[in-house]
Amino acid sequence: MKATGLAIVPPPAAAGQPRVTPELLASVLARYSRSNDGLANILSKVDLANPDASIDRILKFVDYGHASIGGLTGGLAVALDGVSMWLAYKIFELAQMADGQESSTRYITMTPASLPAPDEIGIPRDLAARWQDVMARAFDAYNAEYARLDALALAKPELVRLPAGAKEAVVTRLRKNYALDRARYFIPFATRTNLALVQSSRMWAQLLRQLDSLPHPEARAAAALLRDELLKQSPRLMRHSSADAACQAQAAAELETSCALGLERLSTAQLADEAWVHVDRATAPFLPERQSVADSLRHRANRYGQQGSATRRMRVTFALNNIALAELRDLNRHRTGNRYTPLIQGGFYLPPEIDRAPHARLLADQAALTRELLERKSPAYVHSLLLGAQTPFEHGTHADKFIYEAELRTGMGAHFRYAEHLSAVLREFFKQAPEAKQWVVEGVAEPE
C-alpha cells in the first residue's frame, strides 16, 4: 500500500495571483469572514514567505468548534495505491463529500499476485492457507469464464449489443466488456485496486478518524499512510484525525450487526430481485410546494439539467435486497444522502450466461470460510467475499439526485446488472410519483 499526495500548482494564466498554502488559504478566508477590510487588505498583512504566525493565530479557532475553517483549505488530492477493493469501497462509503476515482475491474490483473498478504488484512494465521486456496480458485474461475465468454462473443457477435456502424476497435472493446462484466462476480473483494480522492482538510480529518477506528488492520494502516501525506499539506488541521471513542463504538456495533445477520442469511443461492421505494413529499403547512413535478423536470435537456423545487424537496429512499458487491462498488459512489448495508452474503449472483454447477464446490468452500470468520466475529470476513456476494443495500436521498442516478445507471454504457436494479427501482418510484414518468429518461444500457 502506498499513499501519494499531489500538490496543486497554479496554471500560467494565474501566475500573477496570490499563492497560498492550503492552511494559509483557510486562515485568510476565515479572517475574511470576520472582517470588512477586503481580501487585498488581509493579504497585505500576511508575510506570504513566512505565513506560520498568521496561520497559527487563526487556526486555533478550530479547537473551539469552528470546524468549518478546515473546509476552506480547498481540495487536497491523495492517491492510494494497492488497497483491497473492500477498503476502496469503505473509503467511498465514509468520504461522502469527496470527489474520487477507483480502478475499474476491467483494467486490473486478476491473479493471486493481486491479493494482499493474509496478515495485512487480518486473516487469522490458521486460516491463511485456506483463504489463499479459495481466492486462487476464484481467480481461476474468473479467468476461465472470461476466456469462454470472450470466445462465445466472438463466435456469436449478436450477443453483444453493438451500435450500428461501430469501428473494429469499438467492436473489440465491447466484446471484451461483455465477457469482463459477466465474469467479474468471481473476483475476490480482497483484490488490490487503486483510488484517488480530493477533499478538504476537514473531510480528510473526519475520514482518517473513522478509518483509524475500524477493527481492520488495513484500514488503520491506510489512515497512517494518508495522515503522513496530508501532514505535508495541512499539518495543523490533521491534529484531529485520530481514532475516537464515538467512531470506535459505531464500528464495533456495525461489526456485531454484520456478523449476526451474516450468519443468519449466509447462502450461495441466487436471491430473487426485490426493490423497495419510499417517497416522502411532506412539507411544512406554512411552506407548501407549489410547483408540479412536471414543471420541475420538463425543462431539462439531459440528466445534468437543473430541476425545480418539486423534486429537490421530495425525499426518496430506495433499497435492494440482493445487490452484488460488483454493482455496490459503483452505486456506493453516489455521494448524496446516506447509504447503508450490513455487507453480508445473503446470496450469490451469477449472470444467466454462466452455469453455476461447475462452480458449486468453489462457492461452497468460500461460504464455509466466510461462516468460520463470521463465527469468530472476525472483521476479516469481508476479505473472504467475492464480488458476486449479494447484500441488502439502502440509499436515502432527494428525488432530484435519485432521478439523476437512475438515468445515469440505466443510460448508454451502463453495466447491464445495475441497469436492471435501477429499472426495478424506477418502476416502484413511478407507482408513488406517476407524474414523473413522462419526464424521466430510463435507458436500456446499450451498448455495454
DSSP secondary structure letters along 264-327: HH---SPPPP-EEEEEE----TTS---S-HHHHHTT-SSTTSPP-HHHHS-EEEEEEEEEEHHH
Q: Does 184 fall in a domain?
A: no
In a domain, 288, yes or no: yes
- What is the rounded average pLDDT of the residues 328-336? 81
Kindly list the distances between the CA atom of residue 323 and the CA atoms of 257, 373, 380, in Å, as whole numbers in the listed order.
18, 22, 21
| Helix/strand/coil percent split, the chain, to 5 | 55, 15, 35
CA distance 398 to 337: 7
> Which structural domain range is residue 271 located in?
252-349+388-439
Which residue(s) pair with 81 in the sheet? 2
- Interatomic CA distance for residues 266 and 359, integer angstroms: 17
10 and 58, same domain (yes or no)? yes
Task: Based on the fold, state whether residues 230 and 302 are members of the same structural domain.
Answer: no
Q: Do 396 and 271 belong together in one domain?
A: yes
Lowest-confidence segment of 62-71, 315-324, 335-344, 366-375 by average pLDDT: 62-71
Q: Are 231 and 271 part of one and the same domain? A: no
Name which of 31-40, 196-205, 294-303 the model is least confident about. 31-40
Q: What angle do CA 147, 329, 248 make, to 5 degrees?
A: 135
pLDDT at 6: 85
Q: Does residue 162 carry a pLDDT above 60? A: yes
Considering the domain architecture, whether residues 342 and 259 belong to the same structural domain is answered as: yes
Annotate 136-165 with DSSP letters as a single string.
HHHHHHHHHHHHHHHHHHHH-GGGS-PPTT
> Among the three residues 215, 243, 271, which one is the final residue of a domain in this structure?
243
Whether 360 is covered by a domain: the verdict is no
At 363, list the grid cell: 462457492
pLDDT band at 163 (very low <50, low <70, confident <90, very high): confident
- What pLDDT does 68 receive? 65
Residues 109-132, mean pLDDT to the nearest whole number: 95
Distances (CA, A) of 368 to 123, 147, 363, 388: 15, 28, 9, 15
φ, ψ at 99 (rounded to 5°): -100, 140
Judged against a pLDDT cut of 90, whether residue 278 lies above it is answered with yes
pLDDT category at 63 given cuts 50, 70, 90 is very low
Based on the fold, state whether residues 256 and 235 are members of the same structural domain: no
User: In total, how many domains does the chain have?
Assistant: 2
User: Which of 210, 225, 243 is where one domain is finished?
Assistant: 243
Look at residue 284 and tell me whether its pLDDT is greater than 70: yes
Domain membership flag for residue 393: yes
More confident residue, 41 or 77: 77
Question: Does the pLDDT of residue 337 top 50, yes or no?
Answer: yes
Residue 140 within any structural domain of the chain: no
- Summarised one tens digit per residue, pLDDT across range 207-246 is 999 999 999 999 999 999 999 999 988 887 788 899 999 9
How much of the chain exceeds pLDDT 90, in percent? 64
Residue 122 lies in a domain: no
Same domain, 300 and 333: yes
Look-up: residue for cell 480547498? 74
How many other CB atoms are found less than 10 A from the CB of residue 326?
A: 24
Rounded mean pLDDT of the chain? 89
Q: Does the structure show a pLDDT above 70 at 51?
A: no
- Of 159 and 141, the one with more pLDDT: 141
**Does some domain include residue 175?**
no
Higher pLDDT, 25 or 342: 342
Answer with the one of 243, 272, 304 that is the final residue of a domain. Answer: 243
Kindly state whether residues 223 and 324 are assigned to the same domain: no
Q: According to the model, what pLDDT value does residue 447 have?
A: 67
CATH code where residue 299 lies: 3.30.1360.170
Together in a domain, 282 and 429: yes
* 62: confidence class by pLDDT, cuts 50, 70, 90: very low
Residue 76, helix vs strand vs coil:
strand
Q: Which three cell numbers stand for residue 177?
A: 466488456
Residues 306 and 397 occupy one common structural domain? yes
User: Which pLDDT value is given to residue 65?
Assistant: 44
Contacts of 440 (CB under 8 A, 6+ apart): 297, 403, 406, 407, 426, 430
Same domain, yes or no, for 294 and 395? yes
Task: Output the nine-digit C-alpha cell for 224.
Answer: 497512517
Whether residue 311 lies inside any domain: the answer is yes
* Exposed / middle / buried, residue 113 (Cβ in 10 Å: 0-12, 13-18, 19+): exposed
Binned at pLDDT 50, 70 and 90, residue 411 comes out as confident
Question: Within this chain, do residues 327 and 423 fall inside the same structural domain, yes or no?
Answer: yes
What would the 3-class secondary structure string for 338-360 be? EEECCCCCCEECCCCCCCCHHHH
Average pLDDT on 72-94 reads 89
Rounded CA separation 410/342 (Å) = 25
Which residues in 173-190 are b (16+ Cβ under 10 Å) and which e? Answer: ebbbbbbbbbbbbbbbbb
